[in-house]
Chain A
Amino acid sequence: MTTTTTTTMAPASAPLARRSSRLHDFLTIAGRAIRGTFREPEFFIPALITPVFFYVVNVGALQDFAQGSGAVEDFKAFQLPVAIIFAVTGISRASALVTDIQSGYFDRLLLTPIRRPMLLFGLMAADVVSIIALTIPVILLGLAFGVTFVTGLLGMIVFIMYGALWGLAFAGFPYAIALKTGNPAAVNSSFVLFFPFAFLTTTFLPEEALTGWLQTIAKYNPVTYVLEGLRSLITVGWDWSSLAAGAAASIGLMVVSFGLASLTMKGRIDRN
């Protein structure tokens, strides 16, 4: 019997490019973004100083008052979620995105067959990694201060994921600003959004201890529900309604912020 093997040789000039899967596109962009994040220690250090500073100062200054008034049972545990919110709110690769826009690298990415949404999703993956890297030292600080999680190690993991969900939800705003303006100063100014979210809520006292307009605003501030969910993991246990409310608040904000980011991304691509 004779066997004939036919080999099809690609011509020397055959292009090698091919359209990849969504997952491949995502991992490619995410890999670069994560590498870039860890090569910028200047990104992490100030982001860590803020929550540590506020945690130490708030506990030192207000613990006796808050616990003495009976408003809070364990102020160190009450403040730990606040430190997490301070650590993760505004953490994003938006500045790196602006650098890419200004250097022309963003255009180079647009010239490749990569799927456009992955340019954002890949950055979000790096954000999650950054947020986790920032959350762990803050939790360790809380543990060092004597805070214990009634939900145990699993609760701590959920606590970190919960913080990451909030951080990611907020990150859509700096991305929207970066894509709209391509301006680093404008991206930095997105930090002002942090203040109403972080302070017009149950930062220092529980909701029932707030009065007047602050109580009203806190009711509509998604951070109130995120804090409640985080606090429940430390002091209450698996309080599913609190956890669900906090997750819904984060997801709701994420829909708004990433909706804006997607629109500005489309606008940036289309206006060319």
Chain B
Amino acid sequence: MASAIQARALRRTFGDFEAVAGIDLDVPAGQIYGFLGPNGAGKSTTVKMLCTLLGITSGTATVAGLDVATQPDEIRLCIGVALQDFSIDGKQTGREMLQLQGRLYGLTRHDIAQRMDDVIGLVDIGEAIDNRVESYSGGMKRRLDLAMSLIHRPQVLFLDEPTTGLDPVSRSSVWAEVRRLNCEYGTTIFLTTQYLEEADELADRVGIIANGLIRAEGAPDALKREIGADLIQAEVEGDVAAAADAVRAVDGIDEVQIHHNELAVVTADGAGLIAQVAVALNGCGVPVRSLTLRTPTLDDVYLHVTGSHFAESDEPNEPDPEASS
């Protein structure tokens, strides 16, 4: 299948800071690709390079088969973008913003009228669509921003943290729209997110980025399977290394990872071995605070490839290009 997005050794620096450190991407047409990483990992910088807003320091990238460096005008006709900070003119009404967006993309009056009917449902703010945007709540602005990015029915849609700040109901409606776009129109969606469940829920494939590098990539289930079938998690007090050694001695344990005062025990048969793990921990004399059995999550994948939990990995925000210029 043709790649809707492809990157080779894509790199971007701001002064001495390397925001994106040479990444490869292959997103087939029609796929939802989840780009998962904590704040400052390089997600937004990558999106800005791919959607022609930010120059590339080195490497190459194509979007919809067009070269980002040499064909930016052509790429802009094919893509829709909803950036992390929703960008809307507060002095205009929601309807005016949508119509204006249609005109910016050269849509005919007929196309605009038709597309307005399609996307107004997503905004879902009733008569407030005719009020000025400055009176909208954060959630309403976010939904309007997303609708604006869809007005011209783009081939490739970049959504940079589209549900940040949304309430659960709005988040569900955005997820439903993302799925619908993908299913009905075959739109390729490049979705950056810092919500694990969002990537898990929506993405056909996930790339985990940390410190400007992709650390793992694959279908969410496949990535989780790489960790193991089951995960026994033990929170202990005292000598965590001794506790780990004791657990490693249990037959059927594939791997034991230590993270602070926590053991992540990977096994193919969690239900069958959890009792033996409890006995082993008890036998080594290390007090156990909690012991849980569950299937691996993307957080476990993240822990596995980066050595820290996702929520602990928030880094300073990616630098603003204006600040460095």
Chain A interface (Cβ within 8 Å of chain B)? 12-20, 24, 28, 31-32, 35-36, 39-40, 100, 103-114, 182, 270-272
B83 close to A182 (CB less than 8 A): no
Closest to B145 in A: A108
Q: Which chain B residues lie closer than 8 Å to A104 at the CB level?
A: 83, 85-87
CB nearest neighbor in B for A32: B100
Q: How far is the CA of A100 from the CA of B153 in the complex (A)?
A: 24
- Docked pose: A110 CA to B104 CA in angstroms: 10
- The residues of B that contact A20 with a CB separation of less than 8 Å are 103, 106
Q: Which of B183-191, B199-207, B270-278, B308-316 contacts A (4 or more CB under 8 A)?
A: B183-191
Inter-chain contact B105/A12, CB cutoff 8 Å: no
Q: Could you tell me the distance in whole angstroms from the C-beta of A111 to the nearest C-beta in chain B?
A: 5
For A20, the closest partner residue in chain B by CB is B106
Q: Given A17, A35, A107, A182, which contacts B152 in the complex, CB threshold below 8 Å?
A: A17
- A103–B90 Cα gap in the complex (Å)? 10
Question: Could you tell me the dominant secondary structure of chain B's interface residues?
Answer: loop
The 5 closest A-B pairs by CB, nearest first: A104-B87, A20-B106, A17-B105, A13-B185, A17-B152
List 14 contacting pairs A-B, 8 Å CB cutoff, sorted by A: A15-B153, A16-B107, A18-B77, A31-B100, A35-B91, A35-B92, A103-B88, A105-B87, A110-B53, A111-B53, A111-B76, A111-B79, A112-B101, A272-B54
Q: How many residues of B contact A (CB 8 A)?
A: 44
CA distance in complex: A31, B99 (Å): 11
Interface string of B41-56 (1 = CB under 8 A from A): 0000000100111110
Interchain CB contact under 8 A, A17 and B83 = no
* B-side contacts of A31, CB under 8 Å: 100, 103
Rounded to whole angstroms, the CA-CA distance of A185 and B88 in the bound complex is 22
Q: Closest approach, in angstroms, between the C-beta of B138 and any C-beta of chain A?
A: 13
User: Which residue of the partner chain, among B48, B52, B78, B106, contacts A24 with CB atoms under 8 Å?
Assistant: B106
A residues in contact with B115, CB < 8 Å? 16
Bound together, the chains give a CA A111 to CA B77 distance in angstroms of: 9
Could you say which of B55, B106, B153, B321 contacts A113, with CB atoms under 8 Å apart?
Answer: B106
Q: A15-B77, A16-B107, A17-B105 are in contact. List 11 more A-B contacts (CB 8 A).
A: A13-B153, A16-B152, A17-B106, A18-B107, A19-B77, A103-B89, A104-B87, A106-B87, A112-B101, A113-B73, A271-B325
CB distance from B109 to the nearest CB of A (A): 12
Which residue of chain B lies nearest to A104 when distances are taken between CB atoms in the complex? B87
Evaluate whether A13 and B187 lie within 8 angstroms (CB atoms) in the complex, with A35-B91, A103-B87 already known: yes
Q: Which of B106, B132, B155, B185 contacts A19 (CB under 8 A)?
A: B106
Q: With A16-B152, A32-B100, A111-B81 in contact, do A105 and B89 touch (Cβ < 8 Å)?
A: yes
Query: CB-CB < 8 A to A272: which residues of B?
Result: 48, 53-55, 321
The complex places the Cα of A108 from the Cα of B81 at a distance, in Å, of 8
Most chain B CB inside 10 Å of its own CB: which residue of A17, A35, A113, A114 = A17
Most chain A CB inside 10 Å of its own CB: which residue of B89, B148, B154, B322: B89
